[in-house]
């Protein structure tokens, strides 16, 4: 399977010819519903067979009762026979209607079940992808895979098999019945088949290209929309509304043009099929009428033949419409399965064991690392070595881009280093499962991301089995309890999307408490106090001093006043640890840390 390194940023990977293997893989999501699927196929066959009986009944009514009555037979006998045929015809219609209703309900259950399973598979896989996938891929395009691309499979997964089978049974049955009525008329009708075959070939080729192009453009529109919504504050702050609208209009105009092009192809094909069908009907009426006059065909047989001819072109139109849906579904399926085939760069080894819950000592040995987007000759971390005893507090300082966040990202194993070892309690974290590592690490970032739900649910996010009492105790230890008490419903307060109904400082306090509730062995604070006011920051710092004594803690902060009491300060510069020691030791050294501290004091 491909890794995400093999996927271009624009994700225009749906360009290969449509393959049977693709559709087989797509329909594998129907397999859990195979009993319903088989029943659905039987219902389709019986409902189609019921429809094929209709013209035969009409032919019998005309030839056996109506024509003799008009030729001089008794009107009562003719009317009685026609009435009985009408009753049978109506009964057959009701039977077909009942079978169709049953079949439709079955199709909906199968199709929606398969789509739900596929959407869940996409969602589950997205959660397991490594962070460098998200570094390279636009959020909107990821959303498009799980949303619009899955939605475009509705027609095929819900109705595809039943409509294809119904059309096939109808075509075979109609051709057999028409040949039985008059093979000469069938030969006359066959004169319109070559242009119909050419039209179908043209539609197949042009339609496939148009729909793949359309799906790629739709993905770009979705990505632009998602990006603009996420950055709406920045857009408004820099008065970019008109410029962003101009760019979005360009994307949307491109999408509209491609949509119109694909629609034009389809809506050119279908009227031409109708024209061919009308031509065939005209041929049958002309030649068939002559044969009726010559006594070689009955009026009822000609009427039935014309009705069956209409039924012949109906499935052709249906299959053209279905193929239209298959083209769109194939383009979407290629994109969905390309995502599902993307392997996480960071994943458990086959022999990975659970990381035992230990004291939390950390050691980096010769770690070298660069991101996928980093030039090949540039290292974000270049030979990083350090050791942190269990229960210590280590601060990472340095200018922006020095590698501080990369260190903690590697420790949390969001990325894999190109070389070197990272050990926790003397054990290589790469040899152990991600889940067992993450259960022992608590992270608080600047983003202070909260999820929709109650405040209590957010606080239990890292440890769902925590009791309410444990959550409250953690909040009191951090001083968060006072802030929560001021909210309208306390711990039951409903959190809006991204915590929009809380201030930045309140969100940061909640995320810090959330990490504490998880009770990690290793605590990571990445600018965790950047969004709080000085008074709140002092409250948090006092609480953290107590909590740090029981954990190995990594602190990243640009405010050097927040790291002066750390047991160890690592100074990074261009991916290297250039200085290490305590606050006083580094000031006395008079090097990089001393200059950073002097800059901080001047600020």
Q: Which two tokens stand for residue 475?
A: 């909040």
Q: Give CA separation, 210 vs 180, 252, 272, in Å.
A: 41, 16, 19
Confidence of residue 5 (pLDDT cuts 50, 70, 90): very low
> Is the four-CA dihedral 321, 322, 323, 326 of positive or negative sign?
positive
Percent of the chain at pLDDT > 90 equals 19
**Average of pLDDT values for 348-358?**
90
Alpha-carbon dihedral 522, 527, 530, 531, rounded to 10 degrees: -60
Strand order in the sheet with 427-428: 381-388, 362-369, 419-424, 427-428
Q: 340 to each of 1, 18, 119, how far by Cα in Å?
A: 9, 18, 11
Is 496 in contact with 441 (CB distance < 8 Å)?
A: no
Q: Classify strands 419-424 and 576-581 as parallel, antiparallel or unpaired.
A: unpaired
Q: Which tens digit of pLDDT belongs to each residue from 262-272?
A: 777 777 777 87
**How do beta strands 381-388 and 362-369 pair?**
antiparallel
Please tell me the predicted confidence (pLDDT) of residue 8.
Answer: 41
- pLDDT at residue 528 greater than cutoff 70: no
Rg (CA), the chain: 35
Alpha-carbon distance of 2 to 158, in angstroms, equals 29
Average pLDDT over residues 288-294: 82
What is the CB neighbour count within 10 angstroms for residue 84? 12
**What is the pTM assigned to this prediction?**
0.72
Give the domains, in start order, of the chain with CATH numbers.
4-340 (1.20.1560.10), 359-440+558-603 (3.40.50.300)
Task: Label residues 385-394 b or e (16+ Cβ within 10 Å = b).
Answer: ebebeebbbb
Task: Give residue-wise pLDDT tens across range 15-34.
Answer: 444 566 888 888 889 999 99
CA dist 46 and 95 (Å) reads 9
In whole angstroms, give the CA distance from residue 596 to residue 602: 10
User: Residue 308 and residue 329: Cα distance in Å, rounded?
Assistant: 31
In angstroms, the CA 551 to CA 546 distance is 10
pLDDT tops 90 at residue 203: no
Mean pLDDT of the chain: 81
């Amino acid at each position: 399977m491909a890794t995400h390194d093999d996927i271009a940023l624009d994700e225009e990977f749906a360009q290969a010819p449509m393959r049977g293997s693709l559709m087989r893989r797509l329909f594998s999501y129907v397999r859990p519903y195979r009993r319903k699927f088989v029943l659905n196929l039987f219902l389709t066959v019986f409902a189609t067979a019921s429809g094929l009986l209709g013209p035969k009944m009409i032919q019998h009514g005309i030839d056996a009762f109506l024509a003799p009555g008009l030729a001089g037979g008794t009107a009562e006998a003719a009317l009685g026979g026609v009435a009985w045929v009408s009753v049978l015809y109506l009964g057959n219609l009701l039977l077909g209607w009942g079978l169709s209703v049953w079949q439709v309900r079955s199709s909906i259950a199968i199709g929606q079940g398969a789509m739900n399973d596929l959407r869940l598979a996409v969602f589950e896989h997205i959660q397991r992808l490594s962070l460098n996938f998200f570094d390279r891929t636009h959020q909107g395009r990821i959303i498009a895979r799980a949303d619009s691309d899955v939605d475009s499979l509705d027609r095929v997964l819900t109705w595809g098999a039943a409509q294809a089978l119904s059309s096939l049974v109808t075509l075979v049955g109609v051709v057999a019945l028409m040949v039985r009525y008059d093979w000469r008329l069938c030969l006359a009708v066959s004169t319109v088949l070559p242009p119909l075959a050419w039209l179908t070939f043209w539609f197949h080729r042009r339609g496939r290209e148009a729909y793949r192009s359309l799906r790629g453009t739709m993905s770009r529109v979705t990505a632009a929309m998602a990006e603009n919504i996420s950055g709406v504050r920045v857009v408004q702050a820099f008065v970019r509304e008109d410029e962003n609208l101009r760019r979005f209009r360009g994307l949307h105009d491109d999408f509209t043009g491609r949509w119109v092009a694909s629609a034009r192809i389809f809506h050119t094909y279908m009227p031409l099929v109708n024209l061919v069908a009308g031509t065939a009907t005209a041929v049958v009426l002309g030649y068939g009428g002559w044969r009726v006059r010559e006594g070689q065909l009955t009026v009822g047989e000609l009427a039935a033949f014309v009705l069956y001819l209409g039924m012949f072109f109906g499935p052709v139109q249906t299959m053209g419409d279905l193929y239209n849906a298959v083209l769109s579904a194939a383009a979407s399926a290629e994109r969905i399965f390309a995502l599902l085939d993307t392997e996480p760069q960071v994943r458990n080894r086959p022999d990975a064991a659970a990381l035992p819950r230990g004291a939390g000592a950390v050691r980096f040995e010769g770690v070298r690392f660069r991101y996928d987007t980093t030039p090949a000759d540039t290292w974000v971390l270049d030979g990083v070595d350090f050791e942190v005893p269990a229960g210590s507090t280590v601060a990472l300082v340095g200018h922006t881009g020095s590698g501080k966040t990369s260190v903690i990202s590697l420790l949390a194993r969001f990325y894999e280093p190109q070389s070197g070892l990272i050990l926790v309690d003397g054990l290589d974290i790469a040899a152990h499962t991600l889940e067992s590592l993450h259960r022992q690490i608590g992270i608080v970032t600047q983003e202070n991301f909260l999820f929709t739900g109650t405040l209590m649910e957010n606080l239990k996010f890292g440890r769902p089995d925590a009791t309410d009492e444990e959550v409250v105790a953690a909040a009191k230890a951090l001083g968060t309890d006072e802030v929560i008490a001021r909210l309208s419903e306390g711990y039951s307060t409903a959190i809006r999307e991204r915590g929009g109904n809380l201030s930045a400082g309140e969100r940061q306090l909640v995320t810090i408490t959330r990490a504490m509730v998880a009770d990690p062995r290793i605590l990571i604070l990445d600018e965790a106090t950047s969004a709080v006011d000085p008074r709140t920051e002092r409250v948090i710092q006092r609480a953290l001093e107590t909590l740090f004594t029981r954990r190995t803690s990594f602190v990243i902060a640009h405010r050097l006043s927040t790291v002066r009491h750390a047991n160890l300060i690592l100074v990074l510069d261009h991916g290297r640890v250039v200085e290490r020691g305590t606050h006083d030791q580094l000031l006395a050294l008079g090097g990089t840390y001393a200059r950073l501290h002097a800059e901080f004091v001047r600020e």
